[in-house]
């Protein structure tokens, strides 16, 4: 399966607003919509975030099909926060998240010259925790419900 990432586009809202209204997608995340998201809501959101210089938001394509989103947010100096979700459930557990994550990590290192990527993940999201550990993230804070994790991109570069 070929996985690529590309910048999020307004047209993606036609698909992503459906994902935003699916509670199965959000049950393990730190946040979820508190009301039904309309296509108009999603279009406003996409326009806003794609014009925000403190983030880079990408669509994940698997064999040409839009299947999820991956983001670097709160980009500041040499650090950013990582976020991912696979919205098309048929692609969950198929290696798409791993491939997309490797692509955004390389983008963060090579294009943005970041030194560190951080994230927060619910302990209940066992699949995500395994993914992040496999990518090289290390636990920096172990809380009762969440792990805070960090990936040192300079260390990652030295290992290559």
Compute the distance between CA of residue 61 and CA of residue 68 in angstroms, rounded to an integer.
Answer: 7
CB 101 within 8 A of CB 72: no
Write down the domain spans for the chain: 3-115
CATH of domain 3-115: 3.40.630.30
Contact at 8 Å (CB) between 119 and 82?
A: yes
User: In 21-94, where does DSSP find H-type helix?
Assistant: 23-26, 39-50
CA distance 57 to 72: 6
Q: CA 36 to CA 18: how far, in whole Å?
A: 10
Whether 119 and 106 have beta carbons less than 8 Å apart is answered as: no
What's residue 32's pLDDT?
63
Buried b (16+ CB within 10 A) or exposed e, 127-144: ebbebbeebbbeeeeeee
Which of 13-17, 81-85, 119-123, 141-145 has the weakest average pLDDT?
Answer: 141-145
What is the rounded average pLDDT of the residues 140-156?
Answer: 90
Predicted pLDDT at 35: 81
Of the candidates 138, 71, 144, 54, the one whose C-alpha atom is nearest the C-alpha of residue 105 is 71
Structure confidence at residue 99 as a pLDDT band (50, 70, 90): very high
Stretch 113-128: mean pLDDT: 93
Specify the range with the lowest mean pLDDT, choosing from 6-10, 32-36, 37-41, 129-133. 32-36
pLDDT band for 55, please (50, 70, 90 cuts). very high
Q: What is the pTM of this model?
A: 0.92
pLDDT the model gives residue 75 = 97
Contact 68, 96 (CB under 8 A): yes
Q: Is 70 exceeded by the pLDDT of residue 31?
A: no
């Amino acid at each position: 399966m070929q996985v690529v990432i590309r910048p999020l586009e307004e047209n993606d809202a036609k698909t992503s607003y459906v994902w935003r209204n699916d509670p199965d997608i959000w049950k393990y995340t730190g946040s979820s919509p508190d009301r039904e998201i309309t296509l108009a809501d999603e279009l406003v959101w996409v326009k806003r975030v794609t014009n925000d210089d403190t983030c880079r938001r990408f669509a994940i394509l698997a064999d040409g099909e839009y299947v999820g989103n991956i983001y670097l947010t709160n980009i500041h100096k040499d650090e950013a926060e990582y976020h991912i979700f696979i919205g098309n459930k048929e692609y969950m557990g198929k290696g798409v998240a791993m491939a997309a994550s490797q692509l955004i990590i390389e983008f963060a290192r090579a294009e943005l010259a970041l030194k560190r990527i951080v994230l927060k993940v619910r302990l209940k999201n066992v699949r995500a925790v395994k993914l992040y550990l496999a990518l090289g993230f290390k636990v920096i804070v172990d809380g009762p419900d969440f792990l805070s994790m960090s990936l040192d991109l300079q260390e990652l570069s030295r290992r290559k």
